[in-house]
Chains A and B, each alone.
Chain A
Amino acid sequence: LAKTTQPISMDSYEGQEVNITCSHNNIATNDYITWYQQFPSQGPRFIIQGYKTKVTNEVASLFIPADRKSSTLSLPRVSLSDTAVYYCLVGATQTGANNLFFGTGTRLTVIP
């Protein structure tokens, strides 16, 4: 089971770039790295997913080094609405669901 380690919390000012790093030392060959965002009283929302190198979409970038033992979610120019909990998951839904371990996530607070 590829468990993950993330900072418990982070603060950032509006307009800054935020980087949240996740450690996953025992990632398996078939595992993907997926990030979710969760607001209070809502279910988690998919942000971005990657296997290696760099992935970018309209809301975030995901950087994965060659050894894949960590990953960094990058949020450009955060706003107050980005205040949420961010979860890093490592696993592959094709190999089941028990390996999708959420952990406690990183609580990001964006300050005006």
Chain B
Amino acid sequence: DTGVSQDPRHKITKRGQNVTFRCDPISEHNRLYWYRQTLGQGPEFLTYFQNEAQLEKSRLLSDRFSAERPKGSFSTLEIQRTEQGDSAMYLCASSLAVGVNSPLHFGNGTRLTVT
């Protein structure tokens, strides 16, 4: 178990630029989640995949955000035309789709700073 891996750990970009983050879940986990966390707040749900299917999206996820999980393994989160309000920690988590409630395993996040 190598854990959930996120890349890059830090990203600084100028307003209006596009950015893409990658998440590699735990290999046998078929569920993958993206969360956003700002300073002093708990993580906020953005979107969720089971295998390659995107099953849920939060109302927080504007049209500038898109996520993919093309082969049911790694996932990417893209933010187009970044705004200063997008500055946050973007967290990825994975879990197994067995049982009633499988705990989430989080990566250490990508910290985005929009200048």
| Chain A residues close to B by CB (< 8 Å) | 30, 32, 34, 36, 41-46, 49, 85, 87, 91-94, 96-98, 100-105
Contact = CB atoms under 8 A, between A and B. Distances in A.
Top 9 nearest A-B pairs (CB, nearest first) are A43-B106, A102-B42, A97-B48, A32-B101, A46-B103, A92-B101, A102-B43, A42-B108, A44-B106
| Chain B interface residue number, banded | 20 to 34
A97 B56 contact: yes
B18 interface: no
A94 B101 contact: yes
A44 to B, nearest CB: 5
A73 B33 CA distance: 25
A65 B33 CA distance: 30
Contact of A34 (B55, B101, B106): B101
Given A46-B105, A105-B42, 19 more contacts: A30-B100, A36-B104, A43-B91, A43-B107, A44-B91, A45-B106, A49-B101, A85-B42, A93-B95, A93-B104, A94-B100, A94-B101, A96-B56, A97-B33, A97-B56, A98-B56, A100-B45, A101-B45, A104-B40
